């Protein structure tokens, strides 16, 4: 800009030199008026150039402040993404968020520079008109010199305009690339944050401090699975089955037992597919708590419990028994799951059809805690009902059963 100002003064000096060479006495008054008008035009012209320079400086300052402020924020809140600004003739790297520089701001800058360009060209046109009226009538020689000076001034101003337009285009392109980088950065951040969100979500009942209904997000059910977690004996258990009032029918199809049914707040079966996924990688502890209508309570515990896949008919695996009932569930060890529409037991008949339940029937059962629910004063057919041999009589049914894993 200093060079441009120097060239402008030099060009105007050429004009002044030509004017001062007029020999006519009457030229003195004209020259004084011309000098004053030239000074005014020159000041106006230089003012426009300075204004343009200030516009550029303002944009650069705004970008620098944006870089400084958002660099701090980026380092505080997000993983740092480093952008190369070598296109600005400096090989340095900055973490930046450029979202606040939008298309509207760029358009305003372009409109401003375009207006300044028009003002500069208007100033030149005024100079041309002025000299055409005041000088060309005096001397063709001075008109030639003026035209040469005017051409040089025109060239200088157009060079200034081209430089500013180039800078504007450069900055627009640079900001556009930064916005593109920022969009990619935001996608990475969103993925990172989403990963963290999933990572921080509960995937089991393990860290639960109070009993109640929770939604867990295991890898096999990323959309979430509602479960009932029970804190008992300083352990958090996940309930997979509950019987307590006979409000839910357990005589269900294969697909219903696969997907689960009932309400985790009341009577329900979690679902064979979920039980399989919860136990496939590592056998879980299984505890079955039972109570009679006479309020006698007992339990069975297995240190290892797992269920195979549907392709293997959800076969039962248990081991490591302890408890205060007789281990009659061992009779069902290794058995496939059966329902009335998918008979996989070792009996010639259909155990699930006879005992109105889905279960790991053998031929048929010593334990059937999914059996038909009978109330206290109802007559229970032999070995029917919610049954655990040895704890209930052959014509008795349990009041409550709760199966849970840890």
pLDDT in tens, 177-225: 666 666 666 666 666 555 554 456 888 898 888 999 999 999 999 989 9
- For the chain, give the mean pLDDT: 75
In the DSSP assignment, the letter for residue 92 is -
| Spatial separation of the C-alpha atoms in residues 389 and 369, rounded to whole Å | 10
Please check the confidence at residue 48 and state whether its pLDDT lies above 80: no
Angle at which helices 140-200 and 2-20 pack, to 10 degrees?
A: 170
| 234 exposure class (CB count in 10 Å sphere: 0-12, 13-18, 19+) | exposed
Confidence of residue 158 (pLDDT cuts 50, 70, 90): low
> Over 59-128, what HEC string results?
HHHHHHHHHHHHHHHHHHHCCCCEEECHHHCCCCEEECCCCCCCHHHHHHHHHHHHHHHHHHHHHHHHHH
> If DSSP codes are grouped into helix, strand and coil, which group holds residue 214?
strand
More confident residue, 216 or 137: 216
Among candidate residues 400, 173, 205, 383, the one with its CA nearest the CA of residue 290: 400
Beta-strand ranges (E) seen in 270-360 are 284-291, 297-307, 316-323
Q: How many residues does the chain have?
A: 406
Mean pLDDT to the nearest integer, 360-382:
93
Percent of the chain with pLDDT over 70: 51
Mean pLDDT computed over 112-122: 65
- Report the alpha-carbon distance of residue 204 to residue 190 in Å, rounded: 25
According to DSSP, residue 386 is labeled: S
For tokens 């689960």, name the residue: 260
Task: Quickly count: other Cβ atoms within 10 Å of residue 34's Cβ.
Answer: 18
Q: What angle do CA 281, 284, 285 make, to 5 degrees?
A: 170
Q: How confident is the model at residue 341 (pLDDT cuts 50, 70, 90)?
A: very high
Condensed to tens digits (0 to 9), the pLDDT of residues 219-270 reads 999 989 999 999 987 889 999 999 999 999 999 999 999 999 999 999 999 9
pLDDT of residue 135: 54
Cβ-contact 314, 270 below 8 angstroms:
no
Q: Does residue 364 have a cis peptide bond before it, meaning omega lies within 30 degrees of 0?
A: yes
- What average pLDDT does range 296-310 have in this prediction? 96
> What is the reported pTM?
0.54
């Amino acid at each position: 800009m200093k060079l441009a100002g120097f060239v402008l003064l030099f060009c105007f000096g050429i004009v002044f030199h030509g004017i001062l060479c007029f020999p006519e006495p009457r030229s003195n008054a004209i020259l004084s008026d011309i000098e004053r008008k030239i000074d005014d035009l020159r000041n106006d012209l230089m003012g426009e150039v300075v204004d343009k320079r200030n516009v550029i400086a303002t944009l650069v300052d705004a970008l620098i402040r944006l870089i400084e402020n958002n660099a701090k924020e980026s380092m505080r809140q997000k993983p740092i993404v480093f952008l190369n600004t070598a296109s600005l003739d400096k090989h340095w790297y900055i973490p930046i968020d450029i979202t606040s520089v939008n298309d509207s701001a760029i358009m305003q800058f372009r409109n401003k520079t375009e207006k300044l360009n028009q003002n500069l060209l208007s100033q030149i046109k005024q100079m041309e008109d002025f000299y055409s009226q005041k000088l060309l009538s005096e001397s063709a020689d001075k008109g030639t010199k003026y035209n040469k000076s005017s051409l040089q001034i025109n060239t200088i101003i157009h060079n200034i305009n081209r430089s500013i337009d180039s800078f504007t285009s450069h900055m627009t392109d640079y900001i556009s690339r930064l916005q593109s980088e920022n969009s990619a950065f935001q996608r990475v951040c969103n993925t990172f944050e989403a990963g963290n969100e999933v990572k921080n979500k509960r995937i089991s009942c393990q860290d639960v401090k109070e009993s109640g209904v929770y939604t867990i997000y295991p890898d096999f059910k990323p959309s979430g699975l509602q479960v009932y977690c029970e804190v008992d004996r300083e352990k958090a258990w996940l309930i997979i089955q509950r019987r307590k009032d006979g409000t839910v029918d357990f005589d269900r199809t294969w697909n219903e037992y696969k997907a689960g049914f009932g309400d985790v707040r009341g009577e329900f079966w979690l679902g064979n597919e979920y039980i399989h996924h919860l136990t496939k990688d590592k056998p879980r502890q299984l505890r079955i708590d039972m109570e009679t209508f006479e309020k006698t309570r007992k339990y069975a515990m297995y240190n290892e419990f797992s269920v195979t896949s549907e392709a293997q008919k959800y076969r039962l695996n248990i081991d490591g028994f302890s408890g205060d009932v007789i281990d009659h569930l061992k009779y069902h060890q290794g058995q496939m799951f059966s329902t009335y529409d998918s008979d996989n037991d070792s009996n010639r008949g259909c155990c699930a059809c006879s005992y109105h339940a889905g279960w790991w029937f053998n031929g048929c059962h010593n334990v059937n805690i999914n059996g038909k629910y009978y109330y206290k004063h109802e007559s229970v057919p032999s070995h029917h009902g919610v049954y655990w041999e040895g704890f209930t009589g052959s014509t008795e049914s349990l009041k409550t059963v709760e199966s849970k894993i840890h």
